[in-house]
Structure 1
Amino acid sequence: MTADQLRSLIAAGLPCDHLEVSGDGRHWAAVIVSPAFEGRRAVQRHQLVYATLGQRIHTDEVHALSMKTYTPAEWRAAGQA
């Protein structure tokens, strides 16, 4: 799994206004900005991302994924837009 492949999987399952993925091939970090996160708690947001990855999250393809998830409004308020 490459960062581009992981980015593509997430983007295919979630509408993303911004998406950054970095990692070493097993341990990953992602910054995800999506309108799909509106009204959802952090755990629910992470579950949405895990759902896009399906079984890959339970294998060595994606051993660990650290996420920072934002709504577009939260992202703008953080001065990132």
Structure 2
Amino acid sequence: MPMEAQDIEDLIRAALPRAKITITDLAGDGNHWAAEVIDESFRGQNRVQQQRAVYAALKGKMDGAHGELHALALTTKAPE
């Protein structure tokens, strides 16, 4: 079963409670998502570190062929 935008946001928000999170359904199919996550905790981190923090927040939902979250285009940054 595909994940809903709110489910994705809730998982990320649990790990990054003050983040500005924007979730977009790219294909309109509930399987291909984009997330923009802006959080102060990313300041001083490189993109790989930032994205690892977000993927960790997803708690394995993208793992393997049977993951609930099929595809996520991820943009991360610290606030300007």
Which one-letter code corresponds to 1:63 in the other structure?
H
The match for 1:3 is 5
Give the whole-Å Cα distance in 2 for the aligned partners of 1:53 and 1:19: 13
Gaps of 5+ in 1: 74-81
Quote the offset at 1:55 in angstroms: 1.2
Give the whole-Å Cα distance in 1 for the aligned partners of 2:24 and 2:59: 19
Q: Is the 8 A contact 2:21 2:35 kept in 1?
A: yes
The match for 2:48 is 43
SS at match of 1:65: strand
Give the whole-Å Cα distance in 2 for the aligned partners of 1:4 and 1:55: 17
Q: Which structure shows the higher helix fraction?
A: 1
Give the whole-Å Cα distance in 2 for the aligned partners of 1:61 and 1:42: 24
The match for 1:78 is none
Aligned-residue identity in percent: 37
Q: CA RMSD in A?
A: 1.3
The match for 1:68 is 75
Which of 28, 33, 38 pairs up with 1:28? Answer: 33
Deviation per residue, 1:19-44 (Å, 9 max, x gap): 10012322110111101111111111
Runs of 4+ in 1 over 3 A off after TM superposition: none
Gaps of 5+ in 2: none
Deviation per residue, 1:41-76 (Å, 9 max, x gap): 111110000000111121431111111111012xxx
